[in-house]
Homo-oligomer: A and B are copies of this chain.
């Protein structure tokens, strides 16, 4: 099912240009791949981050639980994305869809390799900067005033992240609840924004998770 929604790493994420991906292969020698079912925890609060992770397929959500039981999703990781930088964790990560595959790398060994090999260090630096760019784009979404703008930005962002190049059909891998917790609005408001966009003829919905962008320019406004 996950495969139906989100393609594998191959050919995705044009950002790391071949050579970087080549260098990252050096890490695979001490990587192990694990499969997670939806909602299964990958790492939690108190651990002192032993691993660095990379999504191979599926979706991972990184989130913090707030007093009051609310959940705030700090990052959504798609195939190719790394996560688990940061030292003391004040959040947790779990699979957002079934059959999510995640590689884990021993941090100590990654760091040792980076210290000795300048190219590895550079690649590591590059994927860290990518994580920053991702966070900044999310921040811009959160900064939008109306829910309609947030959802519009979200759709555009995910259309370009899920499909390698910005396609106009989009298979949402996550629920309305997840989208709501990601954009800091309620799931009901996500629904209403979706139907509003549909009624305006900006998108069309095959199923709840099958979005087709009809009027891209309208979505960008």
Contact = CB atoms under 8 A, between A and B. Distances in A.
A129 B128 contact: yes
Given A87-B129, A132-B135, A142 B142 contact: yes
Nearest to A119: B115
Interface string A104-135: 00000001001110110110110011011101
A133 B131 CA distance: 11
A64 B125 contact: no
A52 B116 CA distance: 23
A138 interface: yes
Contact of A128 (B114, B132, B142, B145): B132
A4 interface: no
B114 A122 contact: yes
What's the dominant secondary structure at chain A's contact region?
helix
Interface in A24-71: 64, 66-67, 70
Given A114-B122, A125-B124, A72 B135 contact: no
Contacts of A128: 125, 128-129, 132
A140 interface: yes
A85 B129 CA distance: 7
Contacts of A142: 139, 142-143, 184
A136 interface: yes
B125 A86 contact: no
A221 interface: yes
Given A125-B125, A128-B125, A136 B133 contact: no
Contacts of A121: 114-115, 118, 121-122, 125
Contacts of A64: 140
Contacts of A111: 122
A132 B85 contact: yes
A34 B72 CA distance: 39
A74 interface: yes
Contacts of A184: 142-145
Interface of A: 64, 66-67, 70, 72, 74, 85-87, 91, 111, 114-116, 118-119, 121-122, 124-125, 128-129, 131-133, 135-136, 138-140, 142-145, 184, 221
